[in-house]
Amino acid sequence: MAMIAHKCADHTVTVVDINQARIDAWNSDELPIYEPGLDDVVKAARGKNLFFSTDVDTAIHEAEIVFISVNTPTKTYGVGAGRAADLRFIEKCARKIAQVSEGDKIVVEKSTLPVRTAESIKRILEANSKGRDFQILSNPEFLAEGTAIADLQNPDRVLIGGDQTPAGLVAIQKLVDVYAAWVPSEKILTTNVWSSELSKLTANAFLAQRISSINAISALCEETGANVDEVANAIGTDSRIGPKFLKSSVGFGGSCFQKDILNLVYLCDHFGLPDVANYWYGVIEMNDFQKHRFARRVVSTLFNTVSDKKIAVLGFAFKKDTNDTRESAAIYICRDLIDEQANIAIYDPKVTAKQIRQDLKVADENPHVAICEDAYEATKDAHAVLILTEWDEFKALDFKKIYDEMQLPVFLFDGRNLLDLEALREIGFEATGIGQG
């Protein structure tokens, strides 16, 4: 929304939330999320044509287009628990829009939703329409965290789905016109609503599938002496495969991939396609395998026990340049090591100690988990160091100093294939990466 405000000076964008603290943060100097470049975009438009408010009713009342951008987490209760998307926040928004609107509205699904959710929104709105016309559009977001501003500024495509009726086409065109302020028209794709909804789930499933595929190969590389980065490079030069999203890792995390695949799996089951559901579920199973495999490797290398050993963990965010830890592989790896009675010392440049403790479900006074101010504090006297997020600053660490202050033999596990392992071995580290036999 900040980008729309920034690019469309003649539109007024009001972002509303019922959470006062969050809105206050958006109105302050300290934005509630860390995203490179976002501060500048928000600060340039805020107070001019970008506003943050808790006055939900007024904002809906005044708007011509309403974007629904609420959470759709995986359901934790009832039917579909663990798989289906929890749509209660979406439904609350639809009811609120129906209640408050006086004129016609275009309602845009920006949250990622199961296919055919637009229909539910439409039914709620139409049941309460009292003569008003509601057009529902699907406009999924493809930005990735850490590169959000560049992705928004120069997207591969913008996707807009809507009813293929005269009124639906008018609504689609209105949203096309918003994006056309900065996105070339050939990159704005329009479809029917369900193709748009399904495209979002499919894009994320394909991306996650590539990571699980290369991670599966990484396990084989470790057994055979091949090098997964070399394999990725070799296959990535095939223009049909392409080089992106082939970086083997400790496993994918983030708020989208797992949730969206689970959602897809649930939909397939719901529509009587268990074979398709199982096919996609395999992507998640392979990711779980990769996370636990990494932790098992650490334990087995450290002479089959990490009990009472200090293990330094560098990086806790699910990827670099974000403070987001949702579904981060680091959470699972740390939990596995805590179960093995290790003492873990964690350092991440952006994630707060509070967040880490919350993710690991440990109290402040838990003696097995220390949160450190820097990488040197985390690694001092440790038996092993684990790289779990590919932060650039880890490449610039003084590894000689780190080596000198650790316990011998000094083990290093690079879960992101970020570092020059040969150089580390020359210092004396017993260094291993992912997928390097």
Half-sphere exposure of 348 (CA within 13 A, CB side): 26
Q: Binding mask 254-273 vs ligand UDX (x if CB under 6 A, - otherwise)?
A: x-xx----------------
Identity of the residue, 247 or 383, whose beta carbon is nearer to ligand UDX in the bound complex:
247
DSSP 24: H
**What SS3 state is found at 267?**
helix
Stretch that binds ligand UDX, among 123-131, 171-179, 235-243, 252-260 (CB under 6 A): 252-260
Q: Does 370 contact ligand UDX by CB under 6 A?
A: no
Nearest approach, Cβ of residue 143 and ligand UDX (Å):
5
Two tokens at 66? 């309403």
> Which of 8, 93, 256, 372 is the catalytic position?
256
Q: Binding mask 2-21 vs ligand UDX (x if CB under 6 A, - otherwise)?
A: --------------------
Identity of the residue, 143 or 276, whose beta carbon is nearer to ligand UDX in the bound complex:
143
The strands making up 65-68's β-sheet, listed across from edge to edge, are 65-68, 105-109, 134-138, 158-161, 188-191
Q: Which of residues 76-115 bind ligand UDX (CB under 6 A)?
A: none
Q: Does 348 contact ligand UDX by CB under 6 A?
A: no
Instruction: Let me know: does 60 contact 100? Beta carbons within 8 Å.
Output: yes
Distance CA 212, CA 207 (A): 9
**What SS3 state is found at 187?**
helix
Which residue's beta carbon is nearest to the bound ligand UDX?
254
Q: Does 289 contact ligand UDX by CB under 6 A?
A: no
Residues contacting 402, CB < 8 A, separation 6+: 375, 376, 379, 385
Q: Does 295 contact ligand UDX by CB under 6 A?
A: no
Least Cα distance to 205 among 267, 120, 248, 289 occurs for 267
Q: Does 321 contact ligand UDX by CB under 6 A?
A: no
Nearest approach, Cβ of residue 204 and ligand UDX (Å):
6
What does the DSSP assignment read for 282-341?
HHHHHHHHHHHHHHHHHHHHTTT--TT-EEEEE--SSSTT----TT-HHHHHHHHHHHTT
Nearest approach, Cβ of residue 251 and ligand UDX (Å):
7
Distance CA 21, CA 32 (A): 9
Nearest approach, Cβ of residue 102 and ligand UDX (Å):
34
Please say if 256 is a catalytic residue: yes
Q: Does 216 contact ligand UDX by CB under 6 A?
A: no
Stretch that binds ligand UDX, among 67-75, 138-146, 216-224, 262-270 (CB under 6 A): 138-146
End-to-end CA gap in the chain: 46
Q: Does 383 contact ligand UDX by CB under 6 A?
A: no
Q: Binding residues for ligand UDX, how many (CB under 6 A)?
A: 19
Stretch that binds ligand UDX, among 122-130, 173-181, 239-247, 276-284 (CB under 6 A): 239-247
Cα 331 off chain centre by: 14
Helical segments of 46-163, H only: 56-62, 88-100, 117-127, 148-153
Identity of the residue, 246 or 369, whose beta carbon is nearer to ligand UDX in the bound complex:
246
Distance CA 85, CA 87 (A): 6
Instruction: Let me know: does 174 contact 104? Beta carbons within 8 Å.
Output: no
Instruction: Let me know: does 359 contact 328? Beta carbons within 8 Å.
Output: yes
Q: Binding mask 149-188 vs ligand UDX (x if CB under 6 A, - otherwise)?
A: ----------------------------------------
- Of 16, 193, 211, 384, the residue at the interface with ligand UDX (CB under 6 A) is 211
Q: Does 207 contact ligand UDX by CB under 6 A?
A: yes
The footprint of ligand UDX (CB under 6 A) covers 141-145, 204, 207, 211, 245-247, 249, 252-254, 256-257, 318-319
What amino acid positions are annotated as catalytic residues?
Answer: 256
